[in-house]
Structures are given as structure tokens and as C-alpha cells.
Chains A and B, each alone.
Chain A
Amino acid sequence: DTAVSQTPKYLVTQMGNDKSIKCEQNLGHDTMYWYKQDSKKFLKIMFSYNNKELIINETVPNRFSPKSPDKAHLNLHINSLELGDSAVYFCASSQNPGIYGYTFGSGTRLTVV
């Protein structure tokens, strides 16, 4: 069983389009995250939700909107996609990041053309 699953794995889309990435975890964790990994492999946090409540919102354009319908799901919707949005997006979950760290999904490679 996949602990943290993201869909789709690959996403190619044109500038200006709106797209969503879905994430689900079956670990029973309370906290979920979205990270962006750029072409230089740098991982930067975007958002975090704890039990459906937004707790971390880094400086991310408001074209990015996370949604958590329940604590097992955290989706990422992106409006008006730009070339600079091309990256790998990782979902992660944790019960207590200060004790256990994160479990990551396998990533969604977004390419904006």
C-alpha cells in the first residue's frame, strides 16, 4: 500500500491553464504539506495543513490554492500557470515533524509550455 500517493505523476500543460494535483495519505497523520523542488533540487515548503486547518503558508503566489477536504487529503490547485511554475511538487505527511519527520509522496513533475 502506498503511504502518500500523488496524482498525476506527470503533468504537461500550457501557460495560462488551471490545473490540480491531488494527494492522499493512509498513515493516519494529522499534518500534510506541499513542497516545491526546483531544477537545482532545492526543496521549499509551500503550505502545511493540520487536521484540515492551514498552519503554514509561505510566500507563494495566490494563484496557488491548497484545499484539504479531510485530514487524509491535501490537494493543490494552480491558476493561470506560468513557465516558472515548472517544477516537481511533493506532498508529504507527518504525525509529528519534530519527532518523526515526514513521509513523502513520489512527486508530480509539472511542465508548463
Chain B
Amino acid sequence: GESVGLHLPTLSVQEGDNSIINCAYSNSASDYFIWYKQESGKGPQFIIDIRSNMDKRQGQRVTVLLNKTVKHLSLQIAATQPGDSAVYFCAENAGGTSYGKLTFGQGTILTVHP
């Protein structure tokens, strides 16, 4: 079946560096994408979202890029901090008969070294 996946399962960076987490999706019907952050022992927390009619959206220190041509999503974190260490998931909503269901990618473990 169609799924959302990730290129890199782990990412280690130094504090202050910029981080880029990638996600590939295969469902061309998906029209809404979300990045979630999951810290140890906690539930996933919404970071930023983007609709399919956009290719870039910026938040505080985070930017999401969407390339529908190659079905690719990325999360950029500027000036990464130790508190950014977590598992990051991309998720998609396909709409239509899949309305209401978010399909999650594998997850990338981000480790930030002080």
C-alpha cells in the first residue's frame, strides 16, 4: 500500500548547526502534511504543517519544504539546540476516503550534541 517513508533514520548534529530531516511520500492524493516531534516518554507534538498548494512554510526556527514533483518533504531546523533532540515524524492526510486518517512515516532520530 502507499506509505510515507524517510531516507535517514538517524541524524547527529552539533548545537548551533542547521538540521535537515527528509521524508518521501508516495500517495499523490495527499493534500496536507505535518511534521511532529516526539520526545522520550511523550506523545507526538505538532511542529508545522503545509498544504499541497504551497511549497514552503516557515515557523519559528523551522521551515517545511514540499516538492510535489518528486513527492518529497523536508523539515529544516535552524540553530539546532539540545532541546530539539527527539524523534521527528512526517505525516500525510490523503483526503477522500482516507479523510481523517494521518499516515505516519518511519521517524528520524535527531541527536544534538552540545
Contact = CB atoms under 8 A, between A and B. Distances in A.
A44 B3 CA distance: 11
Contacts of B25: none
Contact of A98 (B31, B41, B44, B106): B31
Interface stretch (A14-22, A62-70, A73-81, A101-109): A101-109
Interface residues of B, number: 25
Interface in A55-106: 55-56, 90, 92, 94, 97-99, 101-106
**Interface size class, chain A:** 20 to 34
Interface in A15-57: 31, 40-45, 48, 50, 55-56
B66 interface: no
Interface stretch (B55-63, B76-84, B85-93): B85-93
B114 interface: no
A97 B43 contact: no
A105 B46 CA distance: 12
B87 A41 contact: yes
A25 B113 CA distance: 36
A107 B104 contact: no
B46 A55 contact: no
Given A97-B93, A98-B95, A101-B91, A45 B101 contact: yes
Interface of A: 4, 31, 40-45, 48, 50, 55-56, 90, 92, 94, 97-99, 101-107
